[in-house]
Structure 1
Amino acid sequence: MQGLPMNVIARRVRMGRLEAFLAGIRKKNNINVIYRDASAKEIVDLLRDGEFVGIMPDQDMDSVSGVFVDFFGKSAWTPSGPAVLNLLTGASIVPCFIVRKAFGHEAVIGNPIETVKTLDKRKDIMENTQRYTRVIEDYIRKYPEHWVWFHDRWKTREPENQA
């Protein structure tokens, strides 16, 4: 992936110095930022053109579309964007993680996640979101010190069944 254009979806940071710091790192590494408030069409077009789009779907962000899936044995609100984009464009979901090493970092690029596509779009989104969530769990089990544990991953609660 080095040398290839990389696009990442991010939210705007409201701290000027931090935003400038991140912008410098992204520019140095040839990373184009697509802010979450941008058009979804831009993301779809990039994927259809064969470009990479990085998404960090391991946080509880109730401001984005998602579904409840199992995450370490508990129901967790999980962004469904990767699954939706996979179904819409056919783009693979390829897990990528950064591993700290003694003298720097190493990118770990996994195999594309096998996804399902049936006639039930809602079920497919749920199943494919669960599949990539399992891959994230596996990575966290392998490198627990690399995951941001101070983020409340289970903040959003599933509504009680009203029968």
Structure 2
Amino acid sequence: MGGRSADALYALAWRVLGTVPERAGRRAFDRIADRAWRSRTDGLRQLEANLRRVAGPGATQAQLRALSRAGMRSYLRYFHEMFRLAHTPRETVLGRTDATGIDVLEGHIRAGRGVVAALPHMGNWDHAGAWIALRGTPLTTVAERLRPESVYTRFTAFREGLGMEVLPLTGDGAGTAGRLARRLREGRLVCLLADRDLTDHGVEVDFFGEPARLPAGPAALALGTGAALMPVSLWYEGDRWCIRVHEEIPPPAAGDRAARVREMTQELAAVFEGAIAEHPEDWHMLQRVFTADLDPRAAPAPGPSPAPAPVPDARRSR
């Protein structure tokens, strides 16, 4: 799809889908998901490669295919909800959300302590951002630049309209890391997707029994600013959005800075692993994460997802 076509399609979806009845839109997006699943796109094949690690060696091919179909439907549900979100009533966003652990996170913010909320690509992260902003806690996040630039601009404007401050991953990387650190020192909330490394400074961790690369930024920011590093998992239950804020990952008492960042990132990976294992169909990871797949000869290279991105290298953000 060309740049102009993509921009026009996104613009149309944001304009029209808010007026289409929710159930009708969901059925249409389920059909789109099923077509993508049957067509064996690069993204679908990478999703299955990732889910194979989650399901374990005992999963049959039929079970894996059923799981990837459910995963594609969940992923397209995210898109459908995203295009509708600006038109979704406040009462719906708040009333259809079930959350646990949020009182601890909000308590840190009220006390003036910043929080790094680190999320995997699960459920609907845009809804989660809108939901907490509606509760009175604005947030800052980082977005991967998309092509064409007009699509990136649309996503940025959309998220800003939900109450988020959106900073670019590239083009101002060092400045972005510094601004995130300042927000945390001001006692604010920073939300970062943290299960896929987009930099050259990722940390290799054990993830579902094999090496994978996760961004170092969330742990480095928390360590450098004194903010709380809190994993957050998201999933769907029927028509409801579910959010769990997990316990803070405290900084290790010993070790140099690099070792402490590695240890905190490994603990983050362990929390993500448990959350994804409980709701594997809601893990929208159509890109490479595992070290074995990062060799360009080993797996297809799906395009970027329109999600907020991991933070750039924050080790010099003091």
Fold-level match, TM-score > 0.5? yes
Give the corresponding residue for 1:121: 257
Bigger Rg, which one: 2
Residues 1-163 of structure 1 aligned to structure 2 (within 5 Å): 1=132, 2-15=135-148, 18-19=151-152, 21-37=154-170, 38=172, 39=175, 40-61=177-198, 63-154=199-290, 155-156=293-294
Q: Do the aligned partners of residues 150 and 92 (structure 1) sit closer, same or farther apart at CA in structure 2, a change above 3 Å counting? A: same
Deviation at 1:117, TM superposition (A): 3.7
Contact 2:203 2:215 in 1 (8 A): yes
More helix by share: 2
Q: Do the aligned partners of residues 69 and 116 (structure 1) sit closer, same or farther apart at CA in structure 2, a change above 3 Å counting? A: same
Deviation at 1:23, TM superposition (A): 3.1
Deviation at 1:119, TM superposition (A): 4.2
Deviation at 1:115, TM superposition (A): 2.8
Deviation at 1:29, TM superposition (A): 2.1
One-letter identity of the residue aligned with 1:41: G
Deviation at 1:64, TM superposition (A): 4.1
Q: Which moved more, 1:110-119 or 1:68-77?
A: 110-119
Report which structure shows greater RCO (CA 8 Å, sep ≥6).
2
Q: Alignment length, in residue pairs? A: 156
Give the corresponding residue for 1:161: none
Q: Which moved more, 1:128-137 or 1:14-23?
A: 14-23
Deviation at 1:106, TM superposition (A): 2.9
5+ residue gaps in structure 1? 158-163
5+ residue gaps in structure 2? 1-131, 296-318
One-letter identity of the residue aligned with 1:137: E
Deviation at 1:20, TM superposition (A): 5.2
Deviation at 1:21, TM superposition (A): 5.0
Task: State the identity as a percent.
Answer: 28
State the distance in 1 between where 2:164 and 2:188 align. 12
Contact 2:232 2:245 in 1 (8 A): yes
Give the corresponding residue for 1:160: none
One-letter identity of the residue aligned with 1:74: E
For residues 59-86 of structure 1, give each alpha carbon's deviation from its aligned partner in whole angstroms, at most 9, with x where no partner exists.
Answer: 142x242111111111112111111111
One-letter identity of the residue aligned with 1:156: L
More strand by share: 1
Q: Do the aligned partners of residues 15 and 98 (structure 1) sit closer, same or farther apart at CA in structure 2, a change above 3 Å counting? A: farther
Deviation at 1:139, TM superposition (A): 0.8
SS in 1 for 2:166: strand
Deviation at 1:19, TM superposition (A): 3.2
Ranges of 4+ aligned residues in structure 1 off by more than 3 Å: 15-21
Q: Do the aligned partners of residues 143 and 108 (structure 1) sit closer, same or farther apart at CA in structure 2, a change above 3 Å counting? A: same
Contact 1:60 1:79 in 2 (8 A): yes
For residues 78-122 of structure 1, give each alpha carbon's deviation from its aligned partner in whole angstroms, at most 9, with x where no partner exists.
Answer: 111111111100111111222223224233222212331424112
Contact 2:192 2:218 in 1 (8 A): yes
State the distance in 1 between where 2:240 and 2:151 align. 21
